[in-house]
Chain A
Amino acid sequence: MNGKRITRAKDRARHLLQNSLGVSADGLVDGASIDSLLEWTSLSHVYVINEMEKTLDRKLDVDEILSATSLENITEILLNESTTSPSLLD
């Protein structure tokens, strides 16, 4: 069950990054981050944060904003949110 939730959160994070950065699914390997993806620029980071806020339907707090720098961290934020909003990963 937990494994499924993690997989769903990662898929959601991958989808979110694909939309924000305009990259293909192939480009979003595990470990993808602001340091590894050329498409993840200071401008496209604005889209990432906007897309996350749209997904969560709320403003991110400072620590979330500072950690939204990799596929894994964004997955983690979505997972945490899903404990209070289970439908997020439907």
Chain B
Amino acid sequence: MKLDTRRFSLRTLDKGSVPKEYYSWIQDPLITRYLEIYPRHYQEIDAEKYIESHDKRSSFFIGIYTKDGKFIGTHSLKGSSRTRKFSIGGLVGVREYWGHNVIMETRAALLTFGFKRLEHQKAEAGCYVGNSSAIYNFLRQGWKKEGVLRSHRTIEGVGEDLILFGLLKDEWKENN
């Protein structure tokens, strides 16, 4: 898969093609604070297993690149033809790109890919309640809250709720 947005390119990655920066990002507590990763326990081999869990047919591990080829983040898209749903989650590893709508712009391309090319009916995602930037992105993109998993994870000693978001194909079509 290769997709282009106005400012970025998205390319499918596998274990052999993931740039080494990815492995340093997942060891950075600030980057992984709200991800399902505990840097102290998460090793390169865990990351490789995770990357390999994407079969490149229904599930994709995707690199986010600037137009001049700088690797700045990743997305994971995991779909099921049986349920016609896909889940999506991303990270921006290069801090100078935080706050620049990278996730919004690139996720929009993946939503179109998931709904149109893969013919899914629904997208799902989630984020922790303290991740205000991610919440902002979901709300601006038209996602709806579907539920809350209370104290789903302990972050810095405090139980934090996980908000589940969903977006239907028709809702996406309406706004795009």
Q: Find out whether the CB atom of A42 lies under 8 angstroms from the CB atom of B137.
A: yes
The residue that B135 contacts in the complex, of A41, A43, A50, A66, with Cβ under 8 A, is A66
Q: Find out whether the CB atom of B129 lies under 8 angstroms from the CB atom of A62.
A: yes
* Interface 1/0 per residue, B27-49 and A, CB below 8 Å: 00000000000000000000000
Q: Find out whether the CB atom of A34 lies under 8 angstroms from the CB atom of B163.
A: no
Chain A residues in 8 Å Cβ range of B163: 62, 66
Q: How many residues of A contact B (CB 8 A)?
A: 15
* Interface 1/0 per residue, B128-150 and A, CB below 8 Å: 01001111110110000100100
Interface size class of chain B, counting residues whose CB lies under 8 Å from the partner chain: 10 to 19
The residue that A43 contacts in the complex, of B99, B104, B148, B161, with Cβ under 8 A, is B99
* Interface 1/0 per residue, A50-75 and B, CB below 8 Å: 10000000000010011001000000
B16 to chain A, nearest CB (A): 33
Q: Find out whether the CB atom of B139 lies under 8 angstroms from the CB atom of A41.
A: no
Q: Find out whether the CB atom of A45 lies under 8 angstroms from the CB atom of B133.
A: yes
Q: Find out whether the CB atom of A65 lies under 8 angstroms from the CB atom of B129.
A: yes
Q: Find out whether the CB atom of B161 lies under 8 angstroms from the CB atom of A46.
A: no
In the bound complex, CA of A62 to CA of B129 (Å): 7
Chain A residues in 8 Å Cβ range of B113: none
Interface residues of A (CB under 8 A from B): 34-35, 41-46, 48-50, 62, 65-66, 69
25 A-B pairs (CB sep. < 8 Å): A34-B139, A41-B136, A42-B99, A42-B101, A42-B103, A42-B104, A42-B133, A42-B134, A42-B136, A42-B137, A43-B133, A45-B133, A45-B135, A45-B136, A46-B133, A48-B132, A49-B132, A62-B129, A62-B148, A65-B135, A66-B135, A66-B139, A66-B163, A69-B136, A69-B139
